[in-house]
Amino acid sequence: MSKLFYQGRGRKPVLDQARGVYMWDKNGRRYLDGSSGAMVCNIGHSNDHVLAAMQRQMEKSTFGYRLHFETEASENMAEKLAEKMPEGLDRVFFVSGGSEAVESAMKLARQYALAVGQGERWKIISRTPSYHGCTLGALATTGYTTLTAPFEPMMRVMPKVPAPRAYLDGLDPDAAATGRHYADMLARRIEEEGPENVLAFIVEPIGGASTGALVSPAGYLERVREICDQYGILLILDEVMTGAGRTGAFLGVDHWGVRPDIVVMSKGIGSGYAPLGAMVADRRLVEPVLDAGGFAHGFTYAGNPLACAAGLAVLEEIDRQDLCTNAAAMGEKLLARLNGLMQRHEIIGDVRGKGLLTAFEFMSDRSTKAPLPKQLNAHQRFVDIAYERGLIVYSRRTRDGVEGDHILVCPPLILNEGHIDEIIEGLDESLVQFAQ
């Protein structure tokens, strides 16, 4: 019996090797990594350039405590990451994962408010459904009552607004009025909460695990920016899943040209080579905090040189292989093929996504958008069937974590058309088996 425990007792096959988009278990079985782990391994597994960079760093030093030393690795990674950010976002704070990055953004926002004499601002509005992390701070902004309810006595749950889900509400996602309709819910919520108490709004530009690759409707993020400006509220973009090229641009928000105040990243910037996350903030926020005595926050492993050397090499590979462009091109083809699957399989009620953040949703009735009965646990059953066929995909409940089932198809950005054929074949066969 294994001593390990994660979510449950179930034992998984033991991973032996991984290369490119493929992984092999100890029994020699091959899997196509159709979800890049949990949308992590953007540049694919065992990339030679990254491994060599890590080897070089390992031979120099593997740890230098951030309050004792700067390292070239963390300086260079910060420089490279800042280059890829919208203008003015060039202050970088490294952490080891997405939840830590969200916590850091929440605490920077709060310390900024204190530093500029706005200590009454503390509420961070987020959306339902949403996922921003599992630590108690990040969880407070997470819009899934099933995840937050057990911990409510231990944290202050933050206010929520509905995530725009035009396809469920019968609205046209391409009409500017739709984006405005949802964004104005934020304005109303700010008024209800008392604008003087609201610190920030945190949002994913394209919903990841929570809504299943649901793209923001036209005009939504632009209007959100206007509302934040109108009320003096900070806009935090959670790019943990959408960042590092996943959606066909370096940041998801780049598709709309909206300028956030803080960006949080993880997953794809370490691409599975190292636990790495980053909060990148506008220098206008950071400078007052530093002037007021410093940023009172930090993790022991922040800016770890090995993680930063890996991250820098990952960013170099994203550039060298032009993976944003490949993600956009392959994403279009993959989405078209998923739409083809929807024509053959009645159970697929919706297909969506951008770049290589794509998903389909099961429905029992396309016209009413009714979900499958939740006791079927359809998303998990489907993932298990695909897994047996050597295809790894990722799934979640679509509707506030309670019902509805979506399957995320998010392979590494090095994808080619042959891989797409394999994924579609695996999904097609799995859907046939699933329906039996």
301 makes contact with ligand PMP (CB under 6 A): no
> Residue 257 region, left (φ>0) first, then alpha (ψ -120 to 50), else beta?
left
Assess 86 for contact with ligand PMP (CB under 6 A): no
Q: Which is nearer to ligand PMP, 263 or 342 (CB)?
A: 263
Among 131, 273, 301, 360, binds ligand PMP (CB under 6 A): 131
Closest CA to 199 of 283, 267, 141, 130: 141
Distance of closest approach, residue 129 Cβ to ligand PMP, in angstroms: 11
Q: Which amino acid is at 255?
A: H
209: contact with ligand PMP by CB under 6 A: yes
Q: Pick one of 20, 34, 86, 98: the residue that binds ligand PMP (CB under 6 A).
A: 98
Q: How far is the CB of 209 from ligand PMP (least distance, A)?
A: 5
Tokens of 274: 């190292």
Pick the piece of the chain touching ligand PMP (CB under 6 A) from 131-139, 284-292, 367-375, 418-426.
131-139
118 neighbors 233 (Cβ within 8 angstroms): no
Strands of the sheet containing 277-282, edge to edge, are 89-95, 277-282, 262-265, 234-238, 198-203, 123-128, 160-162
Interhelix angle 72-83/305-320, nearest 10 degrees: 40
103 forms part of the interface with ligand PMP (CB under 6 A): no
Q: Please give the Cα distance from 415 to 211 (Å, whole number).
A: 24
Total residues belonging to the chain: 436
Phi, psi of 209 (to 5 degrees): -65, -30
Q: Which stretch binds ligand PMP (CB under 6 A): 46-54, 202-210, 309-317, 401-409?
A: 202-210
Is residue 219 within the footprint of ligand PMP (CB under 6 A)?
no
Residue 352: phi, psi to the nearest 5? -160, 170
Tell me: does residue 260 bind ligand PMP (CB under 6 A): no
| Number of shown-chain residues binding ligand PMP (CB under 6 A) | 15
Question: Does 105 interact with ligand PMP (rule: CB under 6 A)?
Answer: no
Residue nearest to ligand PMP (CB): 98
Q: Is 430 in the site for ligand PMP (CB under 6 A)?
A: no
Q: Does 266 bind ligand PMP (CB under 6 A)?
A: yes
Q: Which two tokens stand for residue 59?
A: 């031979």
* Binding flag, residue 132, ligand PMP (CB under 6 A): yes
In the three-class reduction of DSSP (H, G, I as helix; E, B as strand; rest coil), residue 247 is classed as: coil
Catalog residues that contact ligand PMP under the rule CB under 6 A: 38, 97-99, 102, 131-133, 204, 208-209, 238, 240-241, 266
